[in-house]
């Protein structure tokens, strides 16, 4: 879908929030439409995207994403004795690729298949995970996704499943890395520029030197953003300096997570109220004129949805009218009757 491509993926750590991120960037899409696009039409795919986090991506762009993400230098944070060797990682990815070629498997089923194909070492319960331990092979899940061997399948009841992206895109293969990285950098700058290599590196969880090289391969123009040297694509120098409007952004929305510098997007009190230890996305954000101006929360009950908004300053009559429109849009997307209240939001940050 074009809206998902324009923001270079919708963060899907909370799938319902990702769906709303898509819906708020369209005029008439409903949650059912996004669900259909993902699981029936398969024009969207849920997989591990930037920063190794779950994202909704356009299926048509998956060759670019896998080509680029598999080229990002990474560091395995697991300690000695737990960490997979490069050779073991290759074995696990090959086993995942074979097991998911024509199947949708739960984690337990995929564990059995990987251990059968590689050896008992892959199933050793050595990875710290919440209050237990995961099998060793699971540290390669993100790598498998970035190499194009794995994506999410539809849930089986309450259980997550994985499958092969080739079932979404017959004949799928990752794009050559150099071409893919350049294209991803272009799309990032088109959606989030003006930006610096440091911003791109943070968005992608990549080394800054690598990001500098990616920018260096593009035809860019230097611009001044309030005294900071930033970059845009050649031909994109005329951008809107004064974003307007009122928006309600859900958890982990691409704008809140991807836009930098943080202090301009979350000025003053917003840095304290709408960030969690400096991290964006953990709170749904009220956006006014392109900057965070409050937080909000929704609670669904049957055919009704209660929306509470906590502004950090005074809302003008125009702001309030625009906020009402956003609330109505959320209701239409969820196919529910919305009710707005203005006041303190008691919900804490999402992990």
Does residue 30 lie in a domain region? no
Give residue-wise pLDDT tens across range 89-126. 999 999 999 999 999 999 999 999 999 999 999 999 99
Answer yes or no: do 53 and 157 share one domain. yes
Does residue 81 lie in a domain region? yes
Whether the bond between 194 and the residue before it is cis, its omega within 30 degrees of 0, is yes
Which pLDDT band holds residue 223 (cuts at 50, 70, 90)? very high
Among the candidates 123, 150, 167, a domain finishes at: 167
Give residue-wise pLDDT tens across range 130-151. 778 999 999 999 999 999 999 9
Does residue 334 lie in a domain region? yes
Does residue 36 lie in a domain region? no
Does residue 9 lie in a domain region? no
Which pLDDT band holds residue 61 (cuts at 50, 70, 90)? very high
pTM: 0.94
For the chain, the domain total comes to: 3
Answer yes or no: do 50 and 161 share one domain. yes
Give residue-wise pLDDT tens across range 241-268. 556 689 999 999 999 999 988 999 999 9
Which structural domain range is residue 223 located in?
A: 193-233
Answer yes or no: do 103 and 131 share one domain. yes
Does residue 146 lie in a domain region? yes
Q: How far apart are alpha carbons 154 and 161 in whole angstroms?
A: 6
Does residue 289 lie in a domain region? yes
Measured between alpha carbons, how far is residue 182 from residues 116, 197, 293 in Å? Answer: 39, 13, 34
What pLDDT does 176 receive? Answer: 98
Which pLDDT band holds residue 239 (cuts at 50, 70, 90)? low
Q: How far apart are alpha carbons 259 and 93 in whole angstroms?
A: 33
Q: What angle do CA 90, 93, 95 make, to 5 degrees?
A: 110
Answer yes or no: do 206 and 275 share one domain. no
């Amino acid at each position: 879908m074009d809206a998902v491509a324009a923001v270079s993926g919708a963060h899907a750590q909370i799938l319902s929030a990702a769906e709303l991120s898509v819906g708020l960037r369209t005029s008439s899409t409903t949650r059912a439409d996004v669900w259909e696009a993902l699981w029936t039409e398969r024009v969207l795919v849920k997989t591990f995207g930037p920063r190794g986090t779950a994202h909704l991506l356009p299926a048509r762009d998956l060759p670019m994403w896998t080509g680029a993400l598999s080229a990002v230098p990474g560091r395995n944070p697991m300690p000695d004795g737990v960490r997979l060797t490069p050779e073991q990682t290759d074995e696990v990815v090959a086993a995942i690729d074979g097991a998911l070629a024509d199947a949708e498997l739960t984690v337990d089923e995929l564990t059995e298949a990987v251990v059968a194909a590689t050896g008992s070492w892959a199933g050793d319960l050595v990875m710290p995970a919440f209050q237990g331990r995961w099998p060793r092979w699971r540290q390669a899940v993100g790598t498998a996704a970035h190499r194009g061997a794995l994506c999410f399948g539809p849930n089986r009841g309450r259980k997550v499943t994985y499958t092969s992206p080739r079932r979404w895109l017959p004949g799928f293969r990752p794009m050559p890395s150099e071409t893919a990285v350049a294209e991803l950098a272009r799309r990032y700058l088109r959606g989030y520029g003006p930006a610096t290599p440091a911003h791109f590196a943070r968005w992608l969880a990549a080394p800054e030197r690598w990001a500098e090289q990616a920018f260096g391969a593009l035809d860019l123009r230097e611009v001044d953003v309030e005294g900071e040297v930033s970059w845009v694509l050649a031909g994109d120098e005329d951008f809107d300096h004064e974003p307007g409007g009122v928006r309600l952004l859900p958890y982990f929305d691409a704008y809140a997570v991807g836009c930098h510098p943080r202090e301009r997007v979350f000025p003053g009190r917003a840095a304290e109220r709408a960030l969690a230890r400096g991290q964006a996305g953990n709170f749904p954000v009220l956006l006014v004129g392109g900057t965070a101006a409050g937080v909000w929360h929704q609670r669904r009950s049957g055919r009704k949805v209660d929306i509470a908004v906590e502004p950090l300053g005074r809302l003008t009559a125009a702001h309030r009218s625009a906020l009402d429109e956003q609330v109505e849009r959320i209701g239409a997307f969820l196919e529910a009757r919305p009710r707005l209240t203005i006041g303190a939001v008691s919900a804490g940050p999402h992990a």
